[in-house]
Structure 1
Amino acid sequence: MTAERKLQDLLETDGENEIVEFKEAKTNFDLSKLGKYFSALSNEANLKGKPSAWLVFGVDNGQKVVGTRFRERGRELQSLKKEIADRVTPRQTFVDIHVVAHPQGRVLLFEIPAAPQGIPVAWAGHFYGRDHESLVALSLEELERIRNQNRTTDWSAGICADATLADLDADAIALARDEYAKKHPRFAAQLDDWDDETFLNKAKITIKGRITRAAILLLGKSESSHFVNPATPTITWILKDRDGIEKDYEHFSCPLLINADQVYRKIRNLKYRYMAEGSLFPEEVDQYDPFVIREPLNNAIAHQDYELGGKVSVIEFEDGRLCFSNSGTFIPGSVEEVIRSDAPENRYRNRFLAEAMVNLNMIDTIGSGIRKMFVTQKNRFFPLPEYQLDRGMVKVTITGRVLDMSYARKLAELPNLSLDDIILLDRVQKKKPLTAAQVRHLKQQGLVEGRKPNLHISARVARQSGNKAEYIRNRGFDDQHYKGLICEYIEKFGEARRADIDRLLLDKLPDVLDERQKANKVRNLLQALKNQGDIVVDGKVWKMSKQ
């Protein structure tokens, strides 16, 4: 791509973000500040999984070209690379400095490489990052995420040298056998022939008969917790009243296979009665679906950074909220990306522990757990799970009641609303910020009214207005409709190339999506059908998996 084309692409973006910064820099720019931007943009490119970020001189905040005279002499510009490299750790500099002779003036494009895997970039000894378009210190959570990228040692697979089978709880092992049989029914008939050592090896809880840290966490006797010091194999349940005052608490230690269920039973899952709304809502439901309790609890156990010495906590609020938290960063980085990809994460903090928990029927590796929590809450018309990822902690809040009846009514009236749109509506009801593009998208569908920051969920339903065709063009159909078209095409013609599927779908996707978003949508639909086992890829051709 030419520098001129890249500049045009950057000018057409929706403003500055974590990896794009515009500066007028009409005549000069402080080297120290430029270095801070280098550090911040490099680190953010790493966190976003991008090869590079862009610092643009000669463009104002309105993305209008104003021109720059910064280091007009070529030799001065090239010397900038060494000046940056001398004060950056690890030593690196721009991939390139592109000079564009734009009709409105000279523009400089600084192509800043992403920080190396596992190594955050510092300027003059300090790490910088971005809070959307603002220059800030790199947070501890983001710093840890970058540093953990090259971590190869799995703490949970470590061997407890002096531990033996006698340090494991007999009731926990019995429960582990039952859960293993449920997860792997083909082995159920053989379980009685396996002694404990054989079973634990096959369930991948021990390694060749040696007791792992994962085995102590899940199956160890309470007095065996010292084997994993300084880790704290503890779940703390706390009950707080509506004012946040602590009313009760209890600590649960090893074996977590048993005690995670004890924590689940401590939670008071009261009945929630909906306000009368005709036939739109059920009359009465439990505040919390069992899945939305067990999933974040078991995820906290599986993904806790035990080397930090923290513990898992479950706080129950009497106003109808549950808050689960654990030490350690959220390795995927973005909850939204996890929901959209709906696929297994390729990196785990405690892979051995996670695999053991899969075998004991505590968690699933198909990567759909978080998405399923969102869908479950959506189907109950309750607020979506809220993730707080900062200060080296992962906190998940589940709300067991309706916050905004307009939000609940909208979900009931529009059952085929996409999960992406529901996430945006959830942000509206929680008074969370939205970008200009997100607001524009919601307004085009008639889902919100008002002006930022005073948006509210529209009481009108687009399908009841006179703009039914426009509503359908903007909203599109649910994913199942598009998947059906793909399968129908392949079944009729025997196979399909990506270009065939693009021709089939692109003009049918919502008008609010741009070309790149439509291409991503098609890719995600194909991947979803592949994961479901409906289609397979043979070279560059898609075919039905059962022909």
Structure 2
Amino acid sequence: MITKENLKHILTNTESYHIERTISIDNTDKFCQAICAFSNDLPGSGKNGYLIIGAHDNGKLSGLKVDDKLLLQISNIRTDGNILPQPLMTVEKISFEDGDILVAEVQPSEFPPVRYRGRVWVRIGPRKSIASEAEEKILTERRLSNIHTFDAMPCLGTTMADLDVSFIKREFLPKAVAEEVLAEDKRPMDEQLASLGFYDLRYNCPTNGAIVLFGNNPERYLHGSYVQYVRFKGKDRAGDIINEHKFSGNLCKELVKIDTFIETSISQKRPIPVSVLREETVSKYPYWATRELLMNAIMHRDYETNAPVQFYEYDDRIEVQNPGGLYGKVSPANFPNVSDYRNPFIAEAMKILGYVNRFSRGVYRVQKELKENGNGDALFDFSLITAFRVIEQVSGKYFDAGFGADDNHGHAKKAQEKPKKSPRKAQEKPKNIQAEIIEIIRSNPHISRKEMASLLDSTPYSVKYHLGQLTNKGIIKHEGATKAGKWVILLNLD
């Protein structure tokens, strides 16, 4: 709010685009026009405007005595519905020896044009007038540029201490920024993040997107920012809960866990004999398609709600439901041919980390992989309005081969049914990914994570996770430089 000393300085200056003086106390139209013009801030200076009641044009006081009635009259301008959007203003009485001054301090609106009774008022120097078509266009364009998506808005109350800065430096920035540019960038971390849209310098705090992606505890500020997995026995939620897990924490760390969970616990690859000498690997739910559907839900969800992403598994299907219906220009009629992004900064970060592609091809590839695996098309449900749901059926090939049960999820096996005869190789327990990693290292100790991922038909993040597990258990270790070193096997897996 303006101080008495600042007001004295204003009174001695001439009127300008952000100062108007008047001795009138009952010309409400004039007051509203001035407040509307200050709100529009046509020059784009960002300065507050001051309507000063009780002073002549030369700055001398009129001897006004400000009473409660006048204060209430000016204060009611904000909420009487004649100026829309509502102006951001404060009203204060300041007393001098020669009389009182009533000051209405008006902040520039972030969503111009502001209208008084349907007209757009602006100030050109010391005078105000109705905006021309060109001036109104300028204000409209400014409004569009000021509208931020939720992930770009400041997460008020947070600081840099709420972010995992070491992870950002170690893992994210080297992927998001060219190596030579990053080496020359000597700016503090907040300015570097601001350049990527993850820090708001005006409010000196991280954005909502930064908290979701890198926050030490995102749920503290965005209560629904987690994925809830539940395995129900049967075909609806009335069945017993066999397994559940909550993927909370920031996305950069949880996406690795989700990726691995889908690959090791949901996909469930099985060899199916096609002939005496040939087998075909079929998954209960294909890894890439299931991963893509869940990653899209995380990327496109509404983070303003307290509801999580629901990842529910039943005997015959998986359902993924994310808060927030179709966004922007996407509709049931044009889906999936048209794309729009509710969280563009989160989407860009997930692309940088390798979890999505942002080329509007994901749904087509999902449908193709599901058909090839025997699951049929994914079903998209647009009827929930405030949520979006996709249903993935269990693979028919998987069940036809006799793999209708799974001990890890507690599925009931087919009662009193003898196992079908099949070649010995098909009956063997499939290797787990860590055992495969050991065999790959044994054959090539100098192999890179990327090469491992290609051989395993997996992702570098999943391989990194399992390498970390094997290292922590003392089974393997890495000697030498990151790129030029080699892997050493210390213990063999049973």
Q: Shorter-chain-normalised TM-score: which range? A: 0.3 to 0.5
Higher helix share: 1
Of structures 1 and 2, the larger Rg is shown by 2
Give the TM-score, by structure 1 length. 0.39
Give the TM-score, by structure 2 length. 0.43
